[in-house]
Structure 1
Amino acid sequence: MGRGLALTVAIGLAGSLASAPPAAADRDDVGQVEWGACPDDVTAKAPDLNVRCGTVTVPLDYDDPDGTQIDLMVSRLASENPHKRRGVLLLNPGGPGGSALTMPAELADLGIPSKVLDTYDLIGMDTRGFGHSAPIDCGFTVGQDYIGNVPPYAVDNAAVVEQAEIAKGVAEQCAANDTDGRMAHITTANTARDLDRIRAALGEKKASYFGLSYGSALGAAYASMFPDTTDRVLIDSNLGDTALDRAGLRRYALGMEETFPDFAKWTAARNSAYGLGRTPEEVRETYFSLAERLDEKPVFGIDGRQFRFTTFGGLYAKRTYGRTAQLWEAIKDADETAVKRAKRLMAETPGAPAAAAEGASYSNSWSVFLTVTCNDVEWPSDVRAYQHSVAADREKYPLFGAGAANILPCAFWPHGPSEPQVKINDDGPTNILIMQNRHDPVTPLLGGQLFRKKFTDRSRLVTADGSGHGVYVYGGNACALNVGTAWLADGVMPEKDVMCRASG
């Protein structure tokens, strides 16, 4: 899961199920980074900034450190203030299957405070298996119409069985394309180990971290596995655990129920423009009416599954409300020209193929999402378990429950967990700031609350009275921006949890 859905979710120290804690990398183990020009797809995002790229070599299998090695590409936007520079800020935008190579420039372009740019070298990267870092590929095509991080809405038990056949085929397709044996080693735990190797290669005794969405799970794993070498950590829009597991995926439905009223209120206020309902309640009724109509008969190629998914993705930010309402309007009126226009908008929805392909191929993005998600935890393999949860969540969360609870290829994944999931380590410094919008469609408030409870005194929770996916810098809340900057730039951790009111 990413800020977009592409968006789009291991071993700890004291909290690990493994027998021994991981050792932090040191400068004797890791070569230094040699900086040079970035690939064109990175520099195109930041032609006016001096973003440089390099590689860090890491073991494919940390249990065999002298075996096969892979190169990870990293990017750097260096601090230009040596008197204020503290160190490095490692970045992750989510996914898994999202590139952070352009994230340093993106944060600068979004207006991250100069205090942060002075304090850190901003370090982006393509995580293992993705983009420029030893990519893996299941061989997906856009024509295959496979959306890897959210299963389709299942109208009944038969639809779950149908999706199970598709999911099994996808798992077999990935296994058949794993010709170099990399997939078993693409995990959150190994990516956290990679972060510590990157820290060492940069010559830093400690590294700070900022990650969103799945990046919150990676950050939680990193801080748990390496409490002595992590400095200031900010995790945003939170999964609530160190992996995207079945419970986390099902929380998508909770997030949509909590966030949809914001869209419904916005749309009702514009009823004379879109004609979708005079009140939020009428807008909600329109959603169900259109979805059921499309379940029975697609309108110019748009079915109920696509409609629900696109509406879910449209809740990621208020700036996408207009095009979501436009899609509804086109379907309601069965206007072929308008529907064709709406299909173009659907391709730009967070999590759709075009969004996933940004910065890397469509296939590579979904391949990484599935591989990490399926490798991190054990997933149920009994189709009846999914049928039961789909039926339960269809009633509990009628907007999207029967999608979020549906079956993924993880149920048939050939690799399975290669090691225990990272457990949260609450024995360490108070250095983890958790930020969460009150309403978030994919990582609801509960995720931030779960991290706060698990990290206990190591953490503080900042809850923003906002709607959408992304808080610090991305969310527009003044209080959250101030608190996050005070932590990252000045080292001021709130004494207690913070509630941030809505702000313009």
Structure 2
Amino acid sequence: MPHVRTPKPRIRTLMAFLALSTAAVIATGIAAPLVEATGIPVAAVTSTVAWQPCGGKADPRQECGSVSVPMDYAVPAGARISLAVSRVRAAGPDRHGVLLFIPGGPGSTGLGKPGELAGRLPAEVLARYDVVSFDPRGLGKSSPVDCRPASPGKASAQLMPWPGPDGDIAPNVSWAAEMATACGEEENPLTAHISTRNEARDIDAIRAALGEEKLSYWGVSYGTYVGAVYATMYPDRTDRVVLDSNDDPDPGRLARGWAANYAIGAEDRFPDFAAWAAARDAEYHLGVHAAAVRDAFLTLATRLDGAPLPWTGAQPPTLDGNALRAAMLQALYSDKSFPGFAALMSAALRGEPLPAASAPPAAALQNTAAVLTATICNDVRWPRSVDGYAEDVATNRAAYPLTAGMPVNIYACAFWPEPSEDPVTVSPDGPANVLMIQNLRDPSTPYVGALRMRAAFGDRARMVTVDAGGHGSYLANGNACGDGAVTAFLVTGERPADDVSCR
């Protein structure tokens, strides 16, 4: 098995970070150090944010700024990085505070979110909060990292480690080792310090820079785990906490468990698509019953494993079995994606030209891959046995054919240095100010994982369960019951007395 050492940072790269920190200190000044609830000294942060128009295509109400934080919180006087932040100020005179949007991923940006959310959030929420978000460290405009693997074109196809048609994981093992080397400290000193713990520390630095004693926030997907970690590390600094589409917080697995949950989530959610397509068999010809649509998908995926089709706009530009499976998972995130995926399946089955695909920019994919890899590998120790992954893939393929073993396959973390800190165990200790909202049939963060988050918080939390499919619940499904419960909590601070089921 390949071994990845932990080299020292290159001097010129470290000097670049030091130069950045010097400029940030000169520009903004430094406030007093923060202290974690655990007693660990954190770091001096910028005393204020110098807000200015974001420019470009941003909502004109949105302002942008930055917060300077340590690259390594264990060395608060050392190299610093910059966090890009943005806000839309409260629209009414009765301002309650800040509502921070915590993006998902790991690897999703948040800088454009306040302007977007200003067009979606209810007026009574916008009246009471400055809506704020940020690009997490290493991502977007927050001191971005780029792992620069030897095979950069693979990034799109390998963000999810799909095994070969026969379950072979040898190419995945090779790619995982390549990413671990490319993301090592020698080229990217910041990657050793990208973790959920440090994102929570960054959020607290943002809170302090905004001059807020307490913080309300809305975490979505991976952002729910970030929000849960913040609520555990800094319980007395939380105000109104909304966690939407919840990750399983099991501290022994974390991202490894989240990946494995794709197998469960796909099985929970695919019947929604199958029923939808069966009701439209005259248009798509995928089967008149949900079971027939499932069979059509599995048959087509197997066919494409052996005989891929050209696919304009995709990267790489072919539709093989794994590309179809990846497109299926993406389509399950929202009912709005059902027609496009059904059209893709229909064209492939009938030998017609495939609808054109669109691939994200290569640079953005590289950045996402780097932050994703660093976060999931620094949060928790992953198994090292290649044979163990191969066995897990074989078992998982048989049990969950929709996802073909991908959810339990190998990542760069198998070749990553040991994490420098223990995982955070989400705690029931703290104020009872957490409201969770969760779809019953979420393909990415399934209901079973949300139940574990609910159990970890104990009486600190209440959960609103929405009888809906897709990823993202608040303001995403048109469910008046679920949306109303969250809005009321944000406006009044009052949670439901008990868990709520919105059917």
C-alpha contact 2:155 2:369 (8 A) present in aligned 1: no
- TM-score of the superposition, structure 1-length normalised? 0.87
SS in 1 for 2:132: strand
Counterpart Cα distance in 2 of 1:144 and 1:255: 25
Instruction: Choose the corresponding residue for 1:333, options 350, 365, 375.
Output: 350
Per-residue displacement from partner, 1:203-237 (whole Å, max 9, x unpaired)? 11000110111111111111111001011110111
- Equivalent positions of 1:31-42 (< 5 A) are 31-38=47-54, 40=56
**Match for residue 408 of structure 1?**
411
Per-residue displacement from partner, 1:94-138 (whole Å, max 9, x unpaired)? 1111111111111122x2111111111011101111111111111
Aligned residue pairs total: 458
**Match for residue 210 of structure 2?**
202
Counterpart Cα distance in 2 of 1:239 and 1:285: 30
SS in 1 for 2:466: strand
C-alpha contact 2:88 2:132 (8 A) present in aligned 1: yes
1:151 shift after superposition? 1.3
1:292 shift after superposition? 0.8
- Equivalent positions of 1:27-426 (< 5 A) are 30-38=46-54, 40=56, 44-46=57-59, 49-82=60-93, 84-109=94-119, 111-139=120-148, 143-157=153-167, 159-175=168-184, 178-241=186-249, 244-300=254-310, 301-335=318-352, 338-339=353-354, 341=355, 343-344=356-357, 347=358, 353-354=359-360, 361-413=364-416, 415-426=417-428
Counterpart Cα distance in 1 of 2:45 and 2:286: 61
**Any runs of at least 4 consecutive aligned residues in structure 1 with deviations exceeding 4 A, and if so which?**
22-26
Per-residue displacement from partner, 1:11-38 (whole Å, max 9, x unpaired)? xxxxxxxx98156979x85411111122
Task: In structure 2, give the amino acid aligned to 1:32.
Answer: T
C-alpha contact 2:42 2:74 (8 A) present in aligned 1: no
1:67 shift after superposition? 0.8
Structure number with the bigger relative contact order (C-alpha 8 A, sep ≥ 6) is: 1
C-alpha contact 1:153 1:400 (8 A) present in aligned 2: no
Q: 1:431 to 1:20 in 2, by over 3 A?
A: closer
Aligned-residue CA RMSD (Å)? 2.0
Per-residue displacement from partner, 1:248-281 (whole Å, max 9, x unpaired)? 2100010000000000000000000010101000
**Match for residue 11 of structure 1?**
none
SS in 1 for 2:245: strand
C-alpha contact 2:393 2:408 (8 A) present in aligned 1: yes
Q: 1:392 to 1:115 in 2, by over 3 A?
A: same
Q: Which runs of 5+ in 2 are unaligned?
A: 1-35, 311-317
SS in 2 for 1:166: helix
Counterpart Cα distance in 2 of 1:24 and 1:86: 29
Counterpart Cα distance in 1 of 2:434 and 2:407: 29
**Match for residue 28 of structure 2?**
none
- TM-score of the superposition, structure 2-length normalised? 0.87
1:174 shift after superposition? 2.1
C-alpha contact 1:469 1:475 (8 A) present in aligned 2: no
SS in 2 for 1:221: helix
Instruction: Choose the corresponding residue for 2:484, options 461, 482, 485.
Output: 482
C-alpha contact 1:386 1:405 (8 A) present in aligned 2: yes
Identity %: 41
SS in 1 for 2:260: helix
